[in-house]
């Protein structure tokens, strides 16, 4: 196992997560080992703030999401703070906003790898599901528990799960609330790779490094395209924004639309012989601009 000097990312006073960085990789660790890394409204708020930072900091290329210790990735919503109206935070307001965090992970224009180091249960299971990739330790256990405790996630936790494992399996996972071993999760395509716990971080960092050798723009465009399949109408603004950003990248200074258009044409040479429009044309422009 390689020894790495993870450096805390300055400027934050997080109570329930750790946030550090190594070699352009940000690591967000839910730091509630005592409660199997179950999340409270404060935890999800802190994850959200950290993800915002990851989005804005151009030096960060890949994000790892994990849990503290060697027993759990995340055991979902903290049942101890479940009260009237939902999960109640320190301000007395019942809100968890974990669905917003899921959306943030999907919208982040950088890959997010779930480093699953133990139980990924309930809302914690959905968290790994919405990450771009999942690498699990051999002691990891997966499953939904919502219906057992009168709860559910009918958003990505249902629809995206079904896209990954198929409708029958997704219904089995939710209707029976069974737990699945890392090997079973691998067999059903729910995780990308399983490694011994001691090698988990090495493996994740190795995957991150491989990703970082590729074009960040191409990776972000593919992510938005993969998301669009499930996001429907809501995916169009995200995809459009990425395309627009990609088109503007080669522009030097504020030369206006005319200049951009001429630059784009110069890069392309003659008008492409293929009937490219919309996404296709944007893709050609992106590739040419790299
Ligand atoms: C995760 C699991 C299977 C682990 O079992 P085990 O045997 O390894 O640990 P144990 O003894 O159950 O738990 C250790 C400590 O962690 C706390 C426990 O209460 C226990 O503390 P003490 O009793 O020693 O004081 N703990 C574990 N999970 C917790 C949680 N979610 N909230 C607060 N404390 C927790 C096993 O612990 C388990 O099944 N946990 C419950 C999982 C669960 O039901 N999560 C909520 C699902 S609903 C959800 O996440 C959700 C949603 O459905 C929709 C929207 C948002 C969230």
Please state the three-class secondary structure of 202-216 as a single string. HHHHHHHHHHHCCCH
Ligand 1: which residues within 6 Å by Cβ? 35-36, 38, 71-72, 75-80, 96, 98, 119, 121-123, 145-146, 149, 151-153
Which residues make beta-bridge pairs with 121? Answer: 143
pLDDT at 151 over 80: yes
pLDDT at site 277: 59
pLDDT at site 76: 98
Rounded Cα gap, residues 264 and 258, in angstroms? 10
pLDDT at site 27: 98
pLDDT at site 83: 87
Distance 35 CA to ligand 1 centre (A): 7
| pLDDT tens-digit map of 76-111 | 999 998 888 889 998 898 989 999 999 999 999 999
Distance 34 CA to ligand 1 centre (A): 10
What percent of the chain has a predicted confidence (pLDDT) above 90?
73
From 30, 32, 38, the mutation candidate for ligand 1 (largest count of ligand atoms within 8 A of CB) is 38
Distance 75 CA to ligand 1 centre (A): 5
pLDDT at site 281: 55
| pLDDT tens-digit map of 118-131 | 999 999 999 999 99
Pairing of strands 141-143, 180-181: antiparallel
Instruction: Return the residue whose CA atom lies nearest to atom 18 of ligand 1.
Output: 35
Which residues, other chains included, contact 108 with Cβ-Cβ below 8 Å and sequence gap of 6+?
51, 54, 55, 63
Distance 62 CA to ligand 1 centre (A): 29
Distance 76 CA to ligand 1 centre (A): 7
From the alpha carbon of 76, which atom of ligand 1 is closest? 50
Rounded Cα gap, residues 57 and 48, in angstroms? 14
Instruction: Return the residue whose CA atom lies nearest to atom 21 of ligand 1.
Output: 35
From 47, 97, 122, the mutation candidate for ligand 1 (largest count of ligand atoms within 8 A of CB) is 122
Mean pLDDT of the chain: 89
| pLDDT tens-digit map of 219-264 | 999 999 999 988 887 777 777 777 777 766 655 444 444 444 555 5
Rounded Cα gap, residues 43 and 206, in angstroms? 27
Instruction: Return the residue whose CA atom lies nearest to atom 30 of ligand 1.
Output: 78
Range 139-164 average pLDDT: 96
Rounded Cα gap, residues 215 and 4, in angstroms? 25
Under the banding of pLDDT at 50, 70 and 90, the label for residue 272 is low
Under the banding of pLDDT at 50, 70 and 90, the label for residue 279 is low
């Amino acid at each position: 196992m390689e020894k790495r000097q993870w450096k805390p990312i300055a400027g934050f006073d997080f109570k329930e997560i750790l946030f550090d960085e190594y070699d352009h990789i940000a690591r967000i660790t839910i730091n509630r080992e005592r409660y199997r890394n179950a999340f409270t409204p404060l935890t999800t708020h802190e994850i959200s703030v950290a993800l915002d930072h990851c989005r804005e900091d151009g030096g960060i290329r890949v994000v790892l999401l994990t849990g503290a210790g060697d027993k759990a990735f995340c055991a979902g919503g903290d049942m101890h703070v479940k009260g009237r109206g939902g999960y109640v935070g320190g301000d007395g307001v019942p809100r968890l906003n974990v669905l917003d965090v899921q959306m943030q992970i999907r919208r982040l224009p950088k890959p997010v790898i779930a480093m699953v180091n133990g139980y990924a249960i309930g809302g914690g299971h959905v968290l790994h599901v919405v990450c771009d990739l999942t690498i699990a330790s051999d002691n990891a256990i997966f499953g939904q528990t919502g219906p057992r405790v009168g709860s559910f996630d009918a958003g990505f936790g249902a629809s995206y799960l079904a896209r990954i494992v198929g409708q029958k399996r997704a219904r089995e996972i939710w209707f029976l609330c069974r737990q699945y071993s890392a090997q079973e999760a691998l067999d059903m395509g729910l995780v990308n790779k399983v490694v011994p716990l001691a090698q988990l971080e090495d493996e994740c960092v190795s995957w991150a490094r491989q990703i970082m050798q590729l074009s960040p723009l191409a990776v972000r465009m593919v992510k938005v395209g993969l998301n669009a399949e499930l996001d429907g109408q809501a995916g169009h603004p995200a995809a459009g924004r990425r395309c627009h950003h990609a088109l503007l990248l080669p522009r030097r200074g504020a030369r206006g639309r005319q200049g951009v258009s001429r630059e784009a044409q110069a890069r392309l040479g003659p008008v492409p012989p293929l009937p490219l429009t919309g996404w296709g044309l944007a893709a050609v422009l992106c590739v040419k601009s790299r």
